[in-house]
Structure 1
Amino acid sequence: MTAAGSPSAHLALADKADAVCRMGALMLSAGTGSFRVKAAMGRVAVALGVDRLDAQVSLNEIIVTTRHGDETVTQVVEVPVPTVNAARIAALLRISLRARPGLSTRDLQRQLDRIELRRPPYPRWAIVVGAALASLAFAFLNNGHLQECIAAGLGAACGKTVQLLLRRARLNHLAIVTVAAFVAAAVFVVTGWAIHAILPSTSQTVHDAAFTSAILFLVPGFPLLTAALDLTRFDFTAGTARLWYAGLVIFAAGIGAWLVAWLFGLTPTPLAPLDLPPAVLLGLRLLASFAGVYGFALTFDTPWRIALMTSAIGMLANTGRLLLIDAGGHPLICATAATMAVGLMAGWASQRFAVPRIIMSVPAVLIMVPGAAAYRALVGLVNGDVIAALTNATAVLSLVMALAAGLALARMLTDPAWTRPMPTWTKMPLTRAQRRLRPYARTTGTRAQPPTG
C-alpha cells in the first residue's frame, strides 16, 4: 500500500475497493466461476472511477488490488465454501452490466444490500421437488424402468430434505453430503422392495445400477464445470481448488452410496437399453430431458423464466446426443457436440436477456453426467479391484473433459474476452447485454429496466 497522495484520496479509494470486493465476494459465494467474478468486479470498478484492478480468485478467497493515480489498495476477502444461488448470480450480473461512470460507492453498496437481503426464489419444498424430478428423469435417461424412476425420485426427495435440514445445523459439509447420499440410496432400495410388495409383477428389487440416480442431486455441477472452464483459461488457482472441492464432494457422496450397496449387497452393473418403440422413446427422452434440467434449475434457485429457457436448451442438446449415440456416434464426440450446442444457445440467450450463461449451461449439462460409471469406479477402488476402478474412472474423466471442452469451445466462439490470455478487467469488451441495458440505466445504476423480449 502506498500513500503518495492525500489521506482523503486514499480513503476514497479504500471505500471503492471495499465495494468492489463485496461485489466479488457475493458473486463467488453464489457459486460462479473465477472469470465471471473478476469481470463483474472490473465493470463496477470502472464505474466507480478505479484506473486498474488486479484480482486473484480461488474457491473461497479473493485478493484484489485497486489503483487510482498514485494510490494503491490491496485487500484480501475470505468467503464461506460457495453454495449455488443462480438468482443471486443473475442479479449481481445485471448490477455490473448496468454500472456506469459516476456510480457512487454508497449507491453500489445499497444495491448489494438489496441483493444480499433478498429471499430465495423458492421455498424448501420446491427445492426438494426439483431434486426428485431431476433424479427421476435421470433414472429414465439411464435406461431405468418405472420402478427405478419412482424409487430414484423418492430417494432424492428424502436425501435432499436431510441435506437441507443438516445445513441449518451448520455441520461439516462433507459429512452432510455423506449422510444425505446414504439416506437417498437407502430409501431407493426400500422403495423398490415396497413397490414389489404392492405390485408382485415387478422385479423383486430395483436394478442395482439405477440407485446412483437417487444421489444425482449431490453432484457438484457448478464447481466441476467452472473448474474445467477456469483451467481452460490457465487460471490454475481457481480451477485446481474447485476441482479438488468437487472431487471431495463426489467422494463423500460415493461413500454414502457405497455403504448402502455394502449393507444390501448391491452390484452396480450396467442397465440394458429400454425396449420401446422409437417414437415413444424419443418423446419420453424429450420429456425426461426437459423435466430433469428443470429440476436441476430449481435446486440451484434459478428464476423460473430462465429455468424454462434452460430446460428447452438441455432438452434439445441431450436428446440430440442420445440420438447420435444410438446411431453409432462416439460418446465423447457426441458429448462435446451436445455441450457445445448448449454453450452456443446459452450464449445467444445470455446476450439478449442479460442472463449469466453459466446458470443456463450447468443444469443443461448435468443431465449428461455419467453417474453410474463414477460410482462403479469408487466401488472398484474400495474393493481393491484396481482394473475396474481405473477403467471406470478413465471413462468418467474422459466424458467430463468432453463436456467441458464443448462449453469452452462455445465460449471462445461467442465471447471476445475469452480468447484473450490475460484480459485487463477494467477494460473488458462491451457486450451485447451491456448495450441493451445501459441506455435504460440511470446514472446511479438503480431501478433500470431492460427492454423486454
Structure 2
Amino acid sequence: MDSKQRLVSRLIAQAGQMLLAHGAESTLVGDLMRRFGIAAGMDEVEVSLSSSSIVVTTVYQEHCITTARRCPDRGINMRVVTQVQRICIMLERGIIDYSMAKEKLNQISPERYNRWLVVFMIGLSCAAFSRLAGGNWTVFGMTFIASAVGMVVRQEIAHRHFNPLMNFAATAFVTTAISAQAVIYNLGNAPFVVMASSVLMLVPGFPLINAVADMLKGYVNMGISRFVMASLLTLATCLGIVAAMSLVGVWGWIL
C-alpha cells in the first residue's frame, strides 16, 4: 500500500510540474492534481503552489506522504497541458490505471511549430497591426521585415537558454533598430507606425492574463509573482527599445 501511495504521489507531482512549467493557470494545476490523486485511489490530496515549485500531500489509509518539486519555466505550450488533461480524464473513467498514466505522462513531448512558420506568422501579425493603425503597404512591408528578424533573434537566444529578460531586451533592440530605418529614410506614409507595431510581439499577454486569473481565483501569491515577471519582461523590452532609439537618434513615436 505504501508503494502505491508513493507512486501515485510522484504521478501527481509530475503532472503538476508539467502543467506549471508549460503555462497552465494555477486553478487548473491544483484541480487536475487533486483529480489525479482521487482517481488513483487516494483519500485526500492537498496541493500548495508557488512560482517555481509545488508541494503535494497525499493521504491514503491514514498514512500521509508529502513531496516537493521544482518547476522551471519551459515556455508556454498548450499541447502539453491538453495531453495531461486527457490522461486525467482517462484515469478518472477507468480506461487506464495509475501506472499506465505514469507511462503516458513520460511519453508527452512539448512539440512546437516549425520555427520559420512562427517567424512568418509573427511578421504577418505585427504587419497587420501596422495596417490597422493606418500604414500603407510600405509600412506593412517594413513592419514585417523588422518583426520577422526580431523573432529570429528571439528564437536563437532562447535556443541558447539565455535569461528571458536578456532575450526580450536584445530582441527589442534589434527590432527597433531595424524599424527605425523607416523613419530615418521616411519610408511609407506613417514610418513611426513601423516602430510601434514591430515590437508588439514582445507584449507578455499570456503571463498577464494568467496573473489576473490567478489573483481573481484566490491564488494571490502566484498571481503576484506572475505579474512581477510579466512586468520585468515589459521593462526589459522598454530598455531594449530605448537603447536602440538612443543609438539611431529616433524618438518620435513615444513623444
Distance apart, 1:192 and its partner CA: 5.7
Matched, 1:225 2:217: no
Could you say what secondary structure the match of 2:92 adopts?
A: coil
1:74 aligns with 2:66: yes
* AA of the residue aligned to 1:218: L
SS of residue paired to 2:64: strand
Do residues 109 (structure 1) and 96 (structure 2) align?
A: no
Aligned partner letter, 1:255: L
CA shift digits 1:224-251 (9 cap, x unpaired): 1000011111211210110011000111
Partner of 1:84: 76
Call closer, same or farther: CA 1:87–1:191 in 2, change over 3 Å.
farther
SS in 1 for 2:191: coil
Query: What is the aligned partner in structure 2 of residue 40 from structure 1?
Result: 32
Aligned to 1:215: 199
Describe the superposition over 1:274-297 as per-residue Cα deviations: whole angstroms up to 9, x where unpaired. xxxxxxxxxxxxxxxxxxxxxxxx
Cα displacement (A) at 1:125: 0.7
Asked if 1:141 is matched to 2:125, the reply is no
Q: Unpaired runs of 5+ in structure 2? A: none
Structure 1 residue runs without a partner (length 5+): 1-8, 197-201, 270-375, 380-453
- 1:248-276 deviation per Cα after TM superposition (whole angstroms, max 9, x unaligned): 0111011111112222333354xxxxxxx
Query: 1:76: Cα distance to partner?
Result: 1.3
CA–CA distance in 2 between the matches of 1:210 and 1:161? Answer: 18
Alignment of 1:257-296 (within 5 A): 257-269=241-253
2:252 and 2:211 map into 1 onto residues whose CA distance is 28
Q: Give the alignment partner of residue 243 of structure 1, picking from 215, 223, 227.
A: 227
Letter in 2 for 1:243: F
Please give the alpha-carbon distance, in whole angstroms, between the structure 1 residues aligned to 2:194 and 2:215: 32
The Cα shift of 1:142 comes to 3.2
- Secondary structure, in 3 states, of the residue corresponding to 1:59? coil
> Is the contact between residue 46 and residue 101 of structure 1 (CA under 8 Å) also seen in structure 2?
no
Q: Which amino acid aligns with 2:67?
A: Q
1:448 equivalent in structure 2? none
Paired letter, 1:222: F
Q: Is the 8 A contact 1:40 1:93 kept in 2?
A: yes
Q: Is the 8 A contact 1:185 1:260 kept in 2?
A: yes
Match of 2:90, as an amino acid?
A: R
- Give the 3 Å change call, closer, same or farther, for CA 210–78 of structure 1 in structure 2: same
Distance between the aligned counterparts of 1:233 and 1:268, measured in 2?
41
1:196-211 matches, within 5 Å, as 196=187, 202-203=188-189, 206-207=191-192, 209-211=193-195
Counterpart of 1:110, as a letter, is E
Question: Matched residues, percent identical?
Answer: 24
1:154 and 1:99 map into 2 onto residues whose CA distance is: 48
2:167 is equivalent to residue 176 of structure 1? yes
- Alignment CA distance shift 1:241-1:87 (3 Å): same
Cα distance in 2 between the residues matched to 1:73 and 1:57: 17
Q: What is the letter of the counterpart of residue 204 of structure 2?
A: P
Distance 1:82 1:105, change over 3 A: same
Query: How large is the Cα RMSD of the aligned pairs?
Result: 2.1
